[in-house]
């Protein structure tokens, strides 16, 4: 009965590869997010979707492309991976009440 | 200048101590204030959530908001080793499509 789940938990890949991370929430929330957390623990918003519509798109390289097939899912596809993409990526969901619920994170290592 | 400032620590206290964690912010439009706890290799977990000014208490945790000073605090009473984690403050404005602004987190260790 996990609220926000992400797959995979760990991802090790080489520079130049393309990879996807999947996120699902069973909380019935309208809004979902992708965050990147660097080694200093700073959480940086990347994207936000509300009812499958993109509402926040921060300055992120266009190698990153989010896709929301329905309200409960938000996936992140990354093309041509670079060393600097190594980080922990968190998916989160939110009802309208300004609270967020985070997934367990995907630890991406680019070698 | 970042919109939300938080001392990264690390902060180390003996078990049973009262812990005070703080954030300052620059934008007076922030109305919603949250505290998250993040254990090592886990996702942030919502701990406390307050709207506008005032105090909110939940067990050993008290969240305080002073909008006139643009300053928020989280107090932990009778701290336990299980409180050892990184604590992140976050804020949001009215009607902004649920955009959140996070502090950089304070690393706390409670020593038995």
User: Is residue B27's pLDDT more than 70?
Assistant: yes
Q: What is the pLDDT of residues B7-18, one digit of tens each?
A: 888 999 999 999
Cβ–Cβ gap A45/B99 under 8 Å: yes
The CA distances from residue A103 to A90, A111, B84, in Å, are: 6, 24, 20
C-beta separation of B87 from B106 below 8 A: yes
pLDDT in tens, chain A (111 residues): 669 999 999 999 999 999 999 999 999 998 999 999 988 788 989 998 888 888 877 778 999 999 999 999 999 999 999 999 999 999 999 987 678 899 999 999 999
* Partner A contacted by B65 (CB < 8 A): no
Task: Average the pLDDT over B13-29 and give the result.
Answer: 96
Q: Report the residue from A55, A100, A104 with minimal CB separation from B97.
A: A55
Could you tell me what percent of chain B has a pLDDT over 90? Answer: 77
Distance CA B29, CA A55 (A): 19
> Is residue A24 within a helix (H) or strand (E), and if so which, with residue range?
strand A19-25
Quote the pLDDT of residue A58: 78
Of the residues B63, B100, B101, B104, the best mutation for testing chain A's interface (the one with the most A CB atoms within 10 Å of its CB) is B100
| Residue B103: pLDDT over 70 | yes
| Local confidence band at B68 (pLDDT 50, 70, 90 cut-offs) | very high
């Amino acid at each position: 009965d996990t609220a926000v789940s992400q797959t995979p938990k760990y991802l090790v890949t080489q520079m130049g590869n393309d990879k996807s991370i999947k996120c699902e929430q069973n909380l019935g929330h309208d809004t979902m997010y992708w965050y990147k957390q660097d080694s200093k623990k700073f959480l940086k918003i990347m994207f936000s979707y509300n009812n499958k519509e993109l509402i926040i798109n921060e300055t992120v390289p266009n190698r990153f492309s989010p896709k929301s097939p329905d309200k409960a899912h938000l996936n992140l596809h990354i093309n041509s991976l670079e060393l600097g993409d190594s980080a922990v990526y968190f998916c989160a969901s939110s009802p309208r009440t300004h609270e967020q619920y985070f997934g367990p994170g995907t630890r991406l290592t680019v070698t | 200048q970042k919109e939300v400032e938080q001392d990264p620590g690390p902060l180390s206290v003996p078990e049973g101590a009262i812990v005070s964690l703080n954030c300052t912010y620059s934008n007076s439009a922030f109305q919603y204030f949250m505290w998250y706890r993040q254990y090592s290799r886990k996702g942030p977990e919502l701990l406390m959530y307050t709207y506008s000014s005032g105090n909110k208490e939940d067990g050993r945790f008290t969240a305080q908001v002073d909008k006139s000073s643009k300053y928020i605090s989280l107090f932990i009473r009778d701290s336990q080793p299980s409180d050892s984690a990184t604590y992140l403050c976050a804020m949001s404005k009215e009607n902004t499509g649920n955009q959140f602004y996070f502090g950089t987190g304070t690393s706390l260790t409670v020593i038995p």
